[in-house]
Amino acid sequence: MLPEDNILFKGIDQNDCHRMITCFNPDIRRYKAGSTIAGFEDYTDKIGIVLSGRAVMVRYDINGVRTIIETLEEQSVFGAFFTFTVSKRSSMEIISETDCEIMYVRRSEITKRCENACQCHSKVVENLLSLMSEKTINLSERIEVLSQRSIGDKLISCLEIIEDKTPQGKTPQIPFSTTVLSDYLCVNRSALQREIAKLKKAGVLTISKRKFKLLKTKD
C-alpha cells in the first residue's frame, strides 16, 4: 500500500502527492507482530498511517485491564489528534497484530499553511477534517455497542455494524480473534464463547472462523 493511496491524500494529483509527502519529511517504520507501535504520550504531534498490516488501539486502566478501542487496517490513520485525552489513571498504545509498516507525519507539517497556499495542501487539511468526522462516527458506534446490557446484545450489535459496512455480495468477517473481540466488547472471553455457542444453537448466528451470518433477530 503506497502512502498516496491513503484517504488523507484523496483527490490529489499523484505528482502533487509525491511532492507533498516528500515535503512532509515522513518517517516510515516497520514493526513485527505483537510489537508496541506507539504510546500516545510519545506521539502527541504525530499522525500515523498504516501502509500495510493490521494493528489495534488498546487502552489499559489503572488495574491493567485491557480494552480494544479500535482496529486499524491498511490505510487507517491514528494519533492523539484523533482520540480522546488519556487520563493519568489509564494509558493508550497501538499494538501490531501482524507485521506492520507505518508512516509517521508530524501534524504541524500537515496543518501549517504552505507559502503558496496551494490547492493540494488545502485538500489534505479538508481530508484531515473528514477523517476526524469519521472517527467521531466510529466512536458513536462503539458507544452503541457498549451501551447494550447483555453480552449477547453487545455481540449482535457489533456484528450488525460490521454487516452493514460489508460490501454487497461479500461475507461479513470479524476483523479480530475471539480474545481481541472480548477485549473490544469489554467482556470475559469464556463468557463470550459461551454466548456465541448459545446463539449458534438458537439459530441466530452461523460462524466459521471469522466469517459470520446473522440469521434472525435475537429474542
CATH of the domain at 208: 1.10.10.10
Residue 1 vs residue 112, higher pLDDT = 112
Tell me which of 79, 112, 139 is where a domain ends: 139
Q: Does 158 lie in the same domain as 78?
A: no
Whether residues 21 and 116 share a domain: the answer is: yes
Given this model, what pLDDT does residue 19 score? 77
Domain span at 79: 3-139
Q: Kindly state whether residue 219 falls inside one of the protein's structural domains.
A: no
Which of the listed residues 109, 139, 169 is the one where a domain comes to its end? Answer: 139
Query: Of 13-17, 52-56, 117-121, 214-218, where does the model show the most confidence?
Result: 52-56
CA distance 75 to 99: 15
Question: Are residues 20 and 123 located together in one domain of the fold?
Answer: yes
The structural domain count of the chain equals 2
pLDDT at residue 55, as a whole number: 92
pLDDT at 92 over 90: no
More confident residue, 130 or 50: 50
Taking alpha carbons only, the member of 116, 105, 184, 110 closest to residue 151 is 184
pTM of the complete model beyond 0.75: no
Q: Are residues 108 and 10 part of one domain?
A: yes
pLDDT beyond 80 at 193? yes
Same-domain check for residues 40 and 101? yes
| pLDDT of the residue at 116 | 53
Cβ pair 57, 173 in contact under 8 A: no
Question: In the predicted model, is pLDDT for residue 53 greater than 90?
Answer: yes
Instruction: Please report, for residues 14, 169, 191, the alpha-carbon distance to residue 219 in angstroms, rounded to integers and kept in the order given.
Output: 52, 27, 19
CATH of the domain at 87: 2.60.120.10
Average pLDDT over residues 87-114: 78
Checking if the pLDDT of 79 tops 60, the result is yes
The answer, yes or no, to whether residue 106 has pLDDT greater than 90, is: no
pLDDT of 175: 84
**Residue corresponding to grid cell 485538500:** 123
Beta strand pairing call for 211-214 and 205-208? antiparallel
Domain final residue, candidates 111, 139, 167: 139
**Looking at the predicted structure, is the pLDDT value of residue 172 above 90?**
yes
pLDDT tens digits, 107-156: 777 776 665 546 677 777 788 778 777 777 877 888 899 899 899 999 99
Report the half-sphere exposure of 100 (CA within 13 A, side-chain side): 26
Q: How much is the mean pLDDT over the chain?
A: 82
